[in-house]
């Protein structure tokens, strides 16, 4: 249950990135795509404008050609008129053809021209031509009535010159418009060129920038992660990876740090367990080698308890007491080696009261005040836990001194644990002793085996609990025994 919850937590953390690398990639590539499409659309529009301008230019050139052809046709018409008037009957047909051409060109130009100025000029040309035709028809009729054909041609010549002049003006005008088209085209071309150049330069820069940013946001945390992993691989479990970006790398680093912390915790536990196992093997060997000599020593000393000489009796009693302490050490070592457990539901209040009574009986009458408060049910081995609580209380009472106080508080810790906190009003634990307090044979007291806390902790660990120590406020030490809480159901055997 705890495991699935932890897994859910991990998944939730994983989904919580505001700027995941996936999202950043999507944003970056859509950005590039949008810029590219916009550039393409602009280029296409410019091309279309250029094409339209080019078309209009072609139309103008057509108009210019038509204007020149019209001039030619009018000149031809006039030349053939002259031949006809001079009596060349055959030229009449050419004249008709030239006239037809001039009329046709005039109609086409009428459709093509779109400027009021040129349209006005064309109208003038058309009027002059009509006058020219009228004069020619009149002149053809004149020889019959007598007259000089050459004299008739002179005004016609002026008309032709006028038409030529008008055509030149139209042509000049068209040329003018044409050159403005060319200028427009050239500017469009230049703009397109500029855009293309900007794109050619800008796109690679943009893409390079995005790639650089992405790769930096990937490679930098990756480098740190790999450095962190290398540090852990080389045995450094204290280092933490400093990546707190709100993406996968940030949560990966957080998970990695959590993993390293857990690894460190388990390694410490393992080292402790190894130490205890070593102590256990040692204890079995020591028990054989020490208990037999101790048997002889304690046996003879106790056998002579009744000796009459009082001084000798005292000396023997002192020796026996020390020998019994040796026995206590060996017993402690054996206990440390294998704390056997029978899980049952343990009423911690009753257990603490019982242990407190034991402590009061064991210590001198002038000892610290000892009070027990709170309730709790633990899952564990009653006699073993009583031994642990007894040890903690006895230590506390000894630390507090005759005028001191020892408060034992039982309560819940979280959902799954209960704790017994033993607080004394003594001098507290020196920082340098704190780490070694639970080591076998480490003792701050002049008497004692130095195994009490080590055995107590071994028992707590075997329960799936622990003992930790901190200094209290304002003074004294607080030893907290943490134990699994007894469930309501029948998980107990």
Partner 1 sequence: MNRPRVLVVEDRPGVLKLIATVLEVGCEVTSAADGATAISLLGAAPFDVVLTDIRLTGASGFDVLRAVQSHAHRPSVVLMTAYANLPDAVAAMRLGAFDYVAKPLAADEIALVVARAVEHRRKTADRPLAVVPDSGLRGGEGHHDLSLGFRRAVDQARERASVEYLVELMRHFHGNVTLAAVRAGMARESLHRLLKQYGIHSHAYRDPTASPEPEGGDHAERARLDA
Query: What are the residues binding partner 1 (CB under 8 A)?
Result: 284, 287-288, 290-300, 302-303, 305-306, 323, 327, 334, 340-342, 381-384, 387
E runs forming strands in 297-413 = 344-347, 369-373, 377-380, 405-413
Number of other residues whose CB lies within 10 A of the CB of residue 180: 12
CA torsion, ordered 258, 262, 265, 270, to nearest 10 deg: -160
Contact yes or no for 485/416 (Cβ under 8 A): yes
- Residue number, 91 or 388, with CB nearest to partner 1: 388
Contact yes or no for 243/76 (Cβ under 8 A): no
- Residue number, 210 or 294, with CB nearest to partner 1: 294
Least distance from partner 1 to the Cβ atom of residue 323, Å: 8
- Residue number, 306 or 489, with CB nearest to partner 1: 306
405-413 and 369-373 strand pairing? parallel
- Please enumerate in sequence order all residues whose Cβ is within 8 A of that of 40, keeping only pairs 6 or more positions apart, or say none: none
- Residue number, 41 or 296, with CB nearest to partner 1: 296
- Residue number, 280 or 401, with CB nearest to partner 1: 280
Write out the two tokens for 262: 């857990």
- Residue number, 74 or 352, with CB nearest to partner 1: 352
Least distance from partner 1 to the Cβ atom of residue 269, Å: 23
Least distance from partner 1 to the Cβ atom of residue 335, Å: 9
417-424 and 477-484 strand pairing? antiparallel
Query: How far apart, in Å, are the Cα atoms of 268 and each of 144, 237, 436?
Result: 141, 11, 13
- Residue number, 79 or 341, with CB nearest to partner 1: 341
Which residues share a beta bridge with 482?
A: 419, 466
For residue 133, the number of C-alpha atoms closer than 13 Å in the C-beta half-sphere is: 14
Contact yes or no for 444/426 (Cβ under 8 A): no
Least distance from partner 1 to the Cβ atom of residue 303, Å: 4
Task: For residues 176 and 13, give the distance between their C-alpha atoms in angstroms, rounded to a whole number.
Answer: 73
In sign, the C-alpha dihedral spanning 363, 365, 371, 377 is positive
Least distance from partner 1 to the Cβ atom of residue 479, Å: 21
Least distance from partner 1 to the Cβ atom of residue 382, Å: 8
Angle at 231 (CA atoms; ends 229, 233), nearest 5 degrees: 70
- Residue number, 111 or 288, with CB nearest to partner 1: 288
Least distance from partner 1 to the Cβ atom of residue 393, Å: 18
- Residue number, 198 or 362, with CB nearest to partner 1: 362
Least distance from partner 1 to the Cβ atom of residue 278, Å: 17
Least distance from partner 1 to the Cβ atom of residue 300, Å: 6
């Amino acid at each position: 249950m705890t495991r699935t919850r932890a897994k859910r937590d991990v998944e939730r953390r994983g989904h919580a990135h505001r700027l995941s690398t996936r999202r950043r990639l999507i944003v970056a590539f859509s950005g590039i795509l949008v810029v590219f499409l916009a550039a393409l659309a602009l280029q296409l529009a410019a091309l279309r404008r250029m094409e339209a301008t080019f078309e209009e230019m072609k139309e103008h050139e057509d108009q210019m050609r038509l204007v020149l052809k019209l001039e030619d046709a009018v000149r031809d018409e006039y030349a053939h008129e002259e031949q006809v008037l001079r009596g060349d009957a055959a030229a009449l047909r050419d004249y008709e053809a030239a006239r037809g051409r001039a009329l046709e060109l005039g109609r086409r130009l009428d459709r093509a021209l779109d400027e009021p100025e040129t349209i006005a000029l064309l109208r003038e040309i058309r009027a002059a031509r009509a006058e020219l035709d009228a004069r020619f028809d009149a002149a053809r009729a004149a020889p019959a009535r007598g007259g000089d054909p050459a004299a008739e041609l002179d005004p016609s010549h002026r008309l032709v010159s006028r038409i030529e002049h008008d055509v030149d003006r139209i042509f000049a005008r068209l040329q003018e418009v044409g050159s403005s088209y060319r200028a427009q085209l050239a500017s469009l071309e230049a703009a397109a060129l500029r855009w293309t150049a900007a794109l050619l330069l800008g796109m690679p820069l943009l893409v390079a920038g995005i790639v650089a940013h992405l790769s930096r946001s990937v490679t930098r945390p990756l480098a740190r992660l790999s450095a962190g992993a290398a540090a852990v691989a080389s045995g450094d479990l204290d280092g933490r990876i400093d990546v707190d970006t709100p993406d996968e790398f940030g949560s990966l680093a957080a998970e990695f740090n959590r993993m390293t912390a857990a690894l460190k915790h388990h390694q410490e536990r393992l080292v402790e367990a190894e130490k205890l196992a070593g102590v256990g093997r040692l204890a079995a060997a020591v028990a054989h080698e020490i208990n037999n000599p101790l048997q002889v020593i304690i046996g003879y000393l106790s056998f002579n308890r009744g000796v009459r000489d009082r001084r000798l009796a005292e000396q023997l009693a002192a020796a026996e007491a020390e020998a019994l302490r040796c026995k206590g050490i060996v017993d402690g070592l054996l206990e440390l080696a294998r704390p056997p457990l029978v899980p049952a539901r343990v009423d911690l209040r009753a257990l603490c009261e019982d242990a407190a009574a034991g402590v009061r009986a064991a210590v001198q009458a002038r000892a610290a005040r000892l009070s027990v408060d709170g309730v709790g049910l633990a899952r564990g081995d009653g006699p073993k836990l009583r031994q642990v609580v007894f040890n903690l209380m006895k230590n506390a009472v000894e630390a507090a001194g005759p005028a001191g106080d020892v408060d034992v508080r039982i309560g819940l810790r979280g959902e799954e644990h209960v704790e017994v906190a033993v607080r004394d009003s003594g001098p507290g634990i020196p920082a340098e002793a704190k780490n070694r307090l639970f080591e076998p044979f480490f003792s701050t007291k002049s008497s004692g085996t130095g195994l009490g806390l080590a055995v107590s902790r071994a028992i707590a660990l075997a329960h799936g609990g622990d003992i930790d120590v901190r200094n209290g406020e304002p003074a004294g030490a607080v030893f907290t025994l943490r134990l699994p809480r007894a469930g309501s159901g029948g998980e107990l055997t």
